[in-house]
Structure 1
Amino acid sequence: MSDHDAGRRPGFAAERRERILRLLRANGSMSLRELASAVHASEVTVRRDLRALAADGLLDRRHGGAMLPGGLTREAPYREKTGVATAEKAAIAEYAAGLVEDGDAIVLGGGTTTHELARRLTGRRDLTVVTNSLLVAEALADAPGAEVVMTGGALRGPIRALVGGAAERSLAGTHVRRAFVSGNGVSAARGLSTPNMAVAGVDRAMAEAAAEVIALADHTKVGADTMFQTVPPDRVSLLVTDAAAPPAELAALRAAGVRVHVVTP
């Protein structure tokens, strides 16, 4: 059956549109190319879906994509993110783990991909990990060769991470070789961004604590832009993403001076 025929059938269309809404709930905003890749449909079909969903008031269309109403400020909870791009996140984490050596001191931010990275570091020796993520800390709690340093701060339940002034102050005197951070969007225009001000403050402090900032972002985040900038493009040393990321945005990021490594799940 062709994509055209499947796109016209009510059952297929309803399932695909629900998938589009789940993706937007997890990411705030996505480009047409990203959505088409994620739901395995043509851009023509997805554009038709976006028109229908917008007519029902379920999303706001933007140039080249869509966002949920209020998408710039919506922060998806952890449970929504866990089912999005799981194979891609695992491949990104696997590559990032190869950048961490015995004896390293690193910062790991909150997020599903950094959680996957932490799970792959349990065999390192003499590793120091500074984090605000409860999930990262739990993943490394029984690792014999890892010392985990938690920031202070107030718990932000939806993302299982500590935020606020105490978290930022605890990072102020810290210096590590690399910070691995994620966020809700990464673009050539603004770098990394997040929809929450408190989260943004901690992510900025993490970037300031590191000689190098490595962004871990699956394709659903590449080209997306949310309300608060966390790390400008000129502070991102490396972006690790997957092969479904929009090529034009990757080219723009490279032109902005960001090294890009693309993994294949």
Structure 2
Amino acid sequence: MLIAERRRRLLAHVRDHGYVSFRDLAEALGISESTVRRDLRAMAADGLLALTRGGAGPRHGSSPARSVPPAGPNGADPVSGPREAIAARAATLVAEGSAVLLGPGRTTTALARYLAAFDQLTVVTNSISVTSALLDAPQVEVVLIGGALRRSIGAAVGPIAEAALTGLRGAQVFLSGEGVTPERGLTTPNVFAAATDQALMAAGQQVVVLADHTKLGRETMCQTVPPERIDVLVTDQAADDYLVDRLRATGIDIHVA
């Protein structure tokens, strides 16, 4: 079966059924689950469908036969709109077989659902929702960092988490805070979350910030990543052009989803 025909049939199956698991799609088309994951990841990056925990569903605004069910607890619901677009673009930056770090947040959780379609990957995280999004992806090795639970963000923070990150090194770290400015970079309102995010930042060779347009130009109390340490910023099309230009002038590579 040609790739184009296979993907056409996958898309039709998703649109007809709403939410479909990787296994069901593989059985329906008579192909392997790894092939399904690879095709769905490419199709999601093209905006044709949305990946969810363990499968795929139609993009927000389409009319499936039945709605996409929640992917899991702790905020791991299917994400639509700017966060989904940002997550899909961020997933294209990740190489198969690499090791990446993900901080807490709704956008990083959306990214985790795209990463669940990878054939081989290691994800280090302190986020409960990121871990939940990867539970049904046994081919993705998950390293869950422990520490003091901060319930407001669903993540482990504090000295134990920071110590656990010492000595780790990943190809990329993906972080999402509450504000991004050219002067202070990424910020968050909580000092404990900021310290743990800084430890995550130190463990990543490339620092990627995920921030929708509502966060650009906003500044909160604690600096997480100074502007000179942000390698890539992924935002959405509603981002203010003036702010984008000012951030780009600091040397940040900006991707607009």
TM-score under structure 2 length normalisation = 0.69
* Corresponding residue of 2:233: 239
The one-letter code of the counterpart of 1:129 is V
SS of aligned partner of 2:238:
coil
Structure 1 residue ranges without an equivalent (≥5): 1-77
2:186 to 182, 192, 203: 192
1:257 lines up with 2:251 in the alignment: yes
Alignment of 1:1-150 (within 5 A): 86-150=80-144
1:220 lines up with 2:214 in the alignment: yes
Deviations 1:3-48 (A, max 9, x none): xxxxxxxxxxxxxxxxxxxxxxxxxxxxxxxxxxxxxxxxxxxxxx
Q: 2:204, 2:237 → 1: CA distance?
A: 27
Deviations 1:135-155 (A, max 9, x none): 000111120210100111011
SS of aligned partner of 1:118:
helix
Alpha-carbon RMSD: 1.6
Is the 1:101–1:124 Cα contact (8 Å) retained in structure 2? no
Q: 1:214, 1:186 → 2: CA distance?
A: 12
Q: 1:107, 1:119 → 2: CA distance?
A: 14
Q: 1:177, 1:222 → 2: CA distance?
A: 25
Q: 2:241, 2:80 → 1: CA distance?
A: 21
Q: 1:101, 1:257 → 2: CA distance?
A: 23
The one-letter code of the counterpart of 1:151 is I
Q: Relative contact order: is structure 1 or structure 2 higher (C-alpha 8 Å, sep ≥ 6)?
A: 1
Deviations 1:214-264 (A, max 9, x none): 00000010111000000000110000001111111111111111111111x
Structure 2 residue ranges without an equivalent (≥5): 1-73
Q: 2:241, 2:94 → 1: CA distance?
A: 27
Give % identity.
49
* Corresponding residue of 1:47: none
Deviation at 1:184, TM superposition (A): 0.5
Q: 1:259, 1:127 → 2: CA distance?
A: 24
> How many residues are aligned here?
183
Counterparts in 2 of 1:223 and 1:86: CA distance versus 1, 3 Å: farther
Q: 1:93, 1:124 → 2: CA distance?
A: 14
The one-letter code of the counterpart of 1:237 is D
TM-score under structure 1 length normalisation = 0.67
Deviation at 1:134, TM superposition (A): 0.2
1:182 to 176, 180, 196: 176
1:171 lines up with 2:165 in the alignment: yes
Q: 1:153, 1:125 → 2: CA distance?
A: 29
1:153 lines up with 2:147 in the alignment: yes
Q: 2:164, 2:182 → 1: CA distance?
A: 30
Q: 1:237, 1:99 → 2: CA distance?
A: 12
Q: 1:207, 1:159 → 2: CA distance?
A: 18
